[in-house]
């Protein structure tokens, strides 16, 4: 087990210097949106002068040194996936937290280390913020005994968890609406995961095209992301293969790996176009910049996103989008402005035709579309998004301290007992809803 290498006190750049504790069930070197978000925000907070301690489970191929990261024991590749399951180790974090002295707790999951975040909050009298990164009910296929009851349980558990926190972050407005419709009553702030605009706007697409033997006239469609079942890859594979069959000068670039890779690739063999599919595997951020720059259009079919970080990265490179309508996606893609947003139930032929429409644009019209794509990425600059999150931290810390001043500090063992009761009550209520399928009006959050 690896202890944290804690950051020293940094110079204040903007706002009040803060010590931020972040707990997440997925983190680097795991590849995925949550890991990318936690890593990106932590890096930017530090750049702005704040101290961050990330608590995350062990994964394969960890770097030898991880300043500001504390790894907890975990079962790796749980149920055959590429996720780790953190194991409860009571009291193991205490020394590191005593040394770090957090002022705010940021939870990135509503279970496992998410429950640990609530317990730390209660034990130390700290406010806790929760980011709802995921439509959790869309990921139950990774668990044994997947069923409608399990999906109801997971959904209800996440909503109840949100109401145990002091504030919630939604990565997009459409996810905020879903959370509030489902019963989240604590304040919900819309703060997307930001990106390094300069990094993704400075890729060398010609270099990658040359390496792959793609001539200047080739029309390149790309996709970046985990090749996982929840990403609707069966649909996307067939839509891309149909497009290749329509457009003889077209090629497809795919960056990423995952358990659904073989199913995704099978569609190209079925349509006899596998020779124009280029698999790039898992790449780092610097390499991805070249991939986005090499594309003429980015294709996306996932229905499970809360934001879709890869969509913003593509836009920053000036690459327009073709995607299916879904929460998170519709917040980024404006139909006719930076790409084409198709109905969620559009067939693969309609998706292929939307790609063909982009391929048939004149060079002048395509360049105008690229400019609009790049402009639409500007609100997602990481310094801006991090400042929004830091402002939220400062607000909940200030409100929490004012509440303690007015109400008086509770005896820590009593706080912990109350929080434990709330965690298990939420679990029991989620189980009741899962089994009975009915719903009670949400109680007023504490």
**Domain-located, residue 402:** yes
**Domain-located, residue 12:** no
Q: What tokens were used for 96?
A: 């590191």
Residues 93, 181, single domain; the answer is: yes
Q: Total structural domains in the chain? A: 2
Residue 253, SS3 per DSSP? strand
**Domain-located, residue 166:** yes
What's the domain range around 409?
A: 19-194+382-436
CATH number at residue 300: 3.40.50.2000
Q: What tokens were used for 21?
A: 């504790």
Residues 159, 255, single domain; the answer is: no
Residues 305, 420, single domain; the answer is: no
Residues 371, 387, single domain; the answer is: no
**Domain-located, residue 445:** no
The CA distance from 129 to 167, in Å, is 5
> Computed over its alpha carbons, how large is the radius of gyration of the chain?
23
Is the Cβ–Cβ distance between 95 and 135 less than 8 Å?
Answer: no
**Domain-located, residue 145:** yes
Q: What tokens were used for 428?
A: 């029991």
The CA distance from 286 to 274, in Å, is 27
Residues 183, 217, single domain; the answer is: no
Residues 247, 169, single domain; the answer is: no
Q: Are strands 321-324 and 277-281 parallel, antiparallel or unpaired?
A: unpaired
**Domain-located, residue 446:** no
Across-strand partners of 130? Answer: 107, 168
The CA distance from 55 to 115, in Å, is 13
Residues 375, 234, single domain; the answer is: yes
Is the Cβ–Cβ distance between 165 and 129 less than 8 Å?
Answer: yes
Q: What are the contacts of 234-238 at 24+ separation with CB within 8 A?
A: 234/260, 234/263, 234/264, 234/267, 235/301, 235/348, 235/351, 236/264, 236/299, 236/300, 236/301, 236/351, 237/263, 237/264, 237/265, 237/266, 237/267, 237/268, 238/267, 238/270, 238/271, 238/348
The CA distance from 383 to 445, in Å, is 32
**Domain-located, residue 5:** no
pLDDT of 90 reads: 59
Residues 328, 405, single domain; the answer is: no
Residues 260, 345, single domain; the answer is: yes
Statement: the pTM of the whole predicted model exceeds 0.85: yes
pLDDT of 356 reads: 98
What one-character DSSP code corresponds to residue 105? E
| 142 burial type by CB count under 10 A (0-12 exposed, 13-18 middle, 19+ buried) | middle
Is the Cβ–Cβ distance between 351 and 301 less than 8 Å?
Answer: yes
For the chain, list residues with pLDDT below 70. 1-16, 76-90, 137, 139-144, 411, 438-446
């Amino acid at each position: 087990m690896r202890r944290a290498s804690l950051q020293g006190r940094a110079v204040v750049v903007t706002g009040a210097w803060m010590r931020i504790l972040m707990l997440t069930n997925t983190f680097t070197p795991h590849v995925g949106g949550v890991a990318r978000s936690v890593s990106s925000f932590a890096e930017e907070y530090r750049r702005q002068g704040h101290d961050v301690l990330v608590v995350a489970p062990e994964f394969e191929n960890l770097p030898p040194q991880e300043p500001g990261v504390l790894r907890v024991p975990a079962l790796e590749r749980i149920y055959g996936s590429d996720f780790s399951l953190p194991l409860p180790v009571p009291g193991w974090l205490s020394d590191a937290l005593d040394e770090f002295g957090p002022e705010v707790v940021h939870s990135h999951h509503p279970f496992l280390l998410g429950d640990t975040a609530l317990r730390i909050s209660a034990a130390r009298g700290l406010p806790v913020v929760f980011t709802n990164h995921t439509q959790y009910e869309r990921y139950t296929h990774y668990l044994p005994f997947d069923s409608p009851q399990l999906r109801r349980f997971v959904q209800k558990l996440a909503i109840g968890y949100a109401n145990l926190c002091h504030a919630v972050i939604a990565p997009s407005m459409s996810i905020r609406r879903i959370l509030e419709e489902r019963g989240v009553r604590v304040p919900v702030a819309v703060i997307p995961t930001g990106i390094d605009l300069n990094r993704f706007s400075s890729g060398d697409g010609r270099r990658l095209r040359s390496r792959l033997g793609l001539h200047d006239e080739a029309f390149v469609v790309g996709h970046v992301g985990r090749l996982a079942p929840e990403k609707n890859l069966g649909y996307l594979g067939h839509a891309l293969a149909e497009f290749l069959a329509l457009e003889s000068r077209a090629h497809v670039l795919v960056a990423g790996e995952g358990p659904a890779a073989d199913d995704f690739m099978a569609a190209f063999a079925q349509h006899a176009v596998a020779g124009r599919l280029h698999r790039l595997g898992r790449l780092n951020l610097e390499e991805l910049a070249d991939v986005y720059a090499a594309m003429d259009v980015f294709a996306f079919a996932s229905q499970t996103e809360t934001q879709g970080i890869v969509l913003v990265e593509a836009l920053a490179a000036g690459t327009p989008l073709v995607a299916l309508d879904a929460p998170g996606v519709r917040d980024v893609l404006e139909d006719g402005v930076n790409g084409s947003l198709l109905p969620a139930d559009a067939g693969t032929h309609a998706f292929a035709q939307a790609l063909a429409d982009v391929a048939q644009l004149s060079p002048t019209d395509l360049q105008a579309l690229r400019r609009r794509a790049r402009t639409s990425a500007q609100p997602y600059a990481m310094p801006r998004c991090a400042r929004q999150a830091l402002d939220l931290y400062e607000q909940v810390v200030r409100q929490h301290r004012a509440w303690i001043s007015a109400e008086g500090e509770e005896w820590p063992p009593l706080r912990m007992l109350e929080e434990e009761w709330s965690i298990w009550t939420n679990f029991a209520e989620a189980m009741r809803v899962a089994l009975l399928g009915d719903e009670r009006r949400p109680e007023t959050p504490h």
